[in-house]
Amino acid sequence: MGNLKDKGLTPGLAVVIVGQDPASRVYVNNKKKACLELGMYSEEYALPEETTQEELLRLVQKLNAKEDIHGILVQLPLPKHLDEKTVINNIDPKKDVDAFHPVNVGKIMIGDYDYLPCTPAGIMELLKDTGIDLIGKECVVIGRSNIVGKPMAMLLLHQNATVTICHSKTRNLKEIVKRADVVVAAVGRANFVTADMVKEGAVVIDVGMNRLENGKLCGDVNFDEVSKIAGFITPVPGGVGPMTITTLMKNTLTAAQKQR
């Protein structure tokens, strides 16, 4: 960062949030805090719930044209009346630091990318830290979202892992997960992965962020049970979340350098 600032370039990130979703608000605050700590420039656009598609698209076009903004992030999910796909498609791919635009998704598919989606890329860093060689390993991703599941499978594949994606229509889910050397749970159901589903010594990455009735946060993995048999396991909160934000900052930095 210091070197860039000496050259008169401060990476700039615009974060757009529509409505009052409490989880989204937490994420946006964390992203702003990270920018501040790193000395990046950030702008927040908090729009009311009833914002129209036209208003949101006008804002995106304005941010596409702003020279001091290198990265644009529209916090998902959007309120039901807005079309996420159209909004993402209107972000300039060069400023798409979430890597959700079809151009960036295509680049990830062929393995020649500028940006990686923040959560899967953060998970790859965590896996690197375990020192485990992924070549030929059985990896199971539970969940097939465009944000985590699909790109996660792609990144594991680029590392020569053998990848299975499971979802709500999968048969014999328990047996499939039990084979895995690496499990990535991104299903959005509290404590969904239990000890009887996990192989002894497996690496378990928990992407879930669920709020229980008592207000406590928990992941998709039953941590107390599974931590007794896993070789490595990530906690919720504090595991994947900070890595997601780190990747977002890295992408914003890359975007600023590319646009320079």
Active site residues: 31, 75, 98
Token pair of 246 as six digits: 């780190």
For residue 111, CA distances in Å to 96, 116, 156, 216 come to 17, 10, 11, 39
Query: CA-to-CA distance for 221 and 233, rounded, in angstroms?
Result: 9
Rounded CA separation 157/83 (Å): 30
What is the Cα–Cα distance from 15 to 44, expressed in whole angstroms? 5
Asked if 167 and 184 touch (Cβ cutoff 8 Å), the reply is: no
The closest of 25, 38, 2 to 77, measured between CA atoms, is 25
Going 77 to 109 to 155 to 153, the CA torsion angle's sign is positive
Question: Are the CB atoms for 198 and 171 separated by under 8 Å?
Answer: no
